[in-house]
């Protein structure tokens, strides 16, 4: 295998083909025509002397060689991008750059306004692209599709036992959950017992990016088995759907205290012990030497500590 026989322009096509496992979708991702992507796949098959993608039933699957190429190709592209795109110095006041940041809903009310103000003041040429948390958040960091993730420190949400070695983790603020009900709840008065909590119908979030049920999310977060009768796509919606109902919902305390719906709620500590939760910031280790990335993550960390 000789590098001088390989057209390095094919690396981008190879990367997206290995990830999408579909010629049409891969072509759409990199704005090529389908015939052009098919021609690129043909050249790569000749070079590697391997089909890379084979049909299995109605789907296309990677060959063992294709699977083995996923990480090296992705890392090669990242190193090229870093070498060509990373500035030796980063001046926020004159920088023209975009950052994609994934955040949990708990960060939206307090954190995002503070971040947007600071960036507007200090770096008017910097673009921020904010996405809400999903099960693919860590994969998006791994693939370089997002720069940072501000989320709950809970591996169960991603069905992991530990974070990948490639990710860096900075612990930020504690997250205190409370039980919330409508202030005129028909049966909950001034206290909330364990038995009463378990007997009530439950509402919780089920973000669109998560495949697991609301009941499973509650089990993973709070180590309790409950049936969730009502799910909403965001924690931000919970205060609004509780009004006039007999539902109870677990909600971060800072969210329960914000917005016009806050005055319609009564909140209680959990009537039993629940696991400790913290907000964390995640990023890929390959971005650590990048002065622009260092600036945005240090800004986020300082804002979180101020809040």
* 206 and 265 share one domain: yes
What integer is the mean pLDDT of 282-296?
Answer: 89
What is the distance between the alpha carbons of residues 146 and 97, in angstroms, rounded to a whole number? 13
CA distances from 205 to 149, 248, 265, 302 (A): 19, 12, 17, 28
* 78 and 170 share one domain: no
What integer is the mean pLDDT of 220-246?
Answer: 89
- Hey, how many other C-beta atoms are within 10 angstroms of the C-beta on 175? 20
Q: Residue 26 sits in a domain of what CATH number?
A: 1.10.10.10
Whether pLDDT at 81 is above 70: no
* 219 and 156 share one domain: no
What integer is the mean pLDDT of 17-44?
Answer: 86
- Is residue 72 in a domain? yes
- The whole-number pLDDT of residue 150 equals 93
Least Cα distance to 248 among 234, 263, 228, 223 occurs for 228
From 50, 85, 120, the end of a domain falls on 85
* 128-147 per-position pLDDT tens digit: 999 988 888 888 888 888 99
* 101 and 151 share one domain: yes
- Is residue 240 in a domain? yes
**Which is more confident, 15 or 159?**
15
What is the distance between the alpha carbons of residues 238 and 204, in angstroms, rounded to a whole number? 7
CB–CB of 271/192 below 8 Å? Answer: yes
- Is residue 91 in a domain? no
Q: Residue 297 sits in a domain of what CATH number?
A: 3.40.190.10
* 54 and 112 share one domain: no
Number of domains composing the chain: 3
* 160 and 297 share one domain: yes
From 25, 50, 85, the end of a domain falls on 85
Q: Which of 102-116, 159-173, 292-306 has the highest mean pLDDT?
A: 292-306
Phi then psi for 302, rounded to 5 degrees? -65, -40
- Is residue 29 in a domain? yes
- Is residue 27 in a domain? yes
- Hey, how many other C-beta atoms are within 10 angstroms of the C-beta on 208? 8
pTM of the model: 0.73
What is the distance between the alpha carbons of residues 281 and 111, in angstroms, rounded to a whole number? 13
* 287 and 211 share one domain: no
* 168 and 179 share one domain: no
* 101 and 167 share one domain: yes
* 194 and 270 share one domain: yes
* 89-128 per-position pLDDT tens digit: 789 999 899 999 999 887 777 788 999 999 999 999 999 9
- Is residue 90 in a domain? no
- Is residue 207 in a domain? yes
Whether pLDDT at 2 is above 60: no
- The whole-number pLDDT of residue 86 equals 56
From 29, 51, 85, the end of a domain falls on 85
* 167 and 48 share one domain: no
- The whole-number pLDDT of residue 8 equals 67
* 115 and 189 share one domain: no
CB–CB of 151/103 below 8 Å? Answer: yes
Domain range for 72 = 3-85
Of 139-148, 183-192, 234-243, 251-260, the one with minimum mean pLDDT is 251-260
- Is residue 8 in a domain? yes
């Amino acid at each position: 295998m000789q590098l001088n026989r390989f057209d390095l322009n094919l690396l981008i096509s190879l990367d997206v083909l290995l990830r999408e496992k579909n010629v049409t979708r891969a072509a759409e991702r990199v704005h090529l025509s389908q015939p052009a992507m098919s021609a690129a796949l043909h050249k790569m098959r000749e070079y590697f002397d391997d089909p890379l993608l084979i049909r299995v039933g109605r789907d296309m699957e990677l060959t063992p060689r294709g699977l083995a190429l996923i990480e090296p190709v992705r890392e090669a592209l990242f190193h090229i991008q870093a070498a060509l795109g990373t500035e030796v110095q980063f001046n926020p006041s004159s920088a023209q750059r975009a950052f994609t940041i994934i955040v949990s809903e708990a960060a939206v009310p307090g954190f995002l306004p503070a971040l947007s103000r600071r960036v507007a003041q200090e770096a008017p040429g910097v673009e921020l692209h904010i996405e809400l948390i999903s099960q693919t958040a860590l994969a998006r960091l791994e693939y370089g599709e997002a720069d940072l993730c501000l989320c709950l420190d809970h591996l169960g949400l991603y069905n992991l036992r530990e974070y990948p070695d490639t990710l860096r983790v900075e612990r930020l603020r504690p997250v205190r959950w409370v039980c919330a009900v409508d202030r005129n709840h028909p049966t909950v008065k001034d206290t909330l017992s364990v038995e009463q909590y378990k007997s009530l119908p439950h509402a919780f979030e089920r973000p669109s990016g998560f495949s697991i049920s609301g009941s499973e999310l509650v089990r993973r977060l709070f180590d309790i088995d409950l049936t969730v009768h009502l799910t909403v796509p965001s924690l931000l919606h919970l205060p609004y759907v509780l009004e006039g109902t007999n539902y109870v919902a677990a909600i971060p305390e800072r969210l329960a205290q914000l917005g016009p719906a806050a005055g319609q709620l009564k909140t209680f500590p959990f009537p039993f012990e629940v696991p400790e939760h913290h907000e964390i910031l995640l990023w890929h280790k390959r971005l650590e030497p990048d002065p622009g990335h260092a600036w945005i993550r240090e800004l986020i960390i300082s804002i979180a500590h101020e809040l």
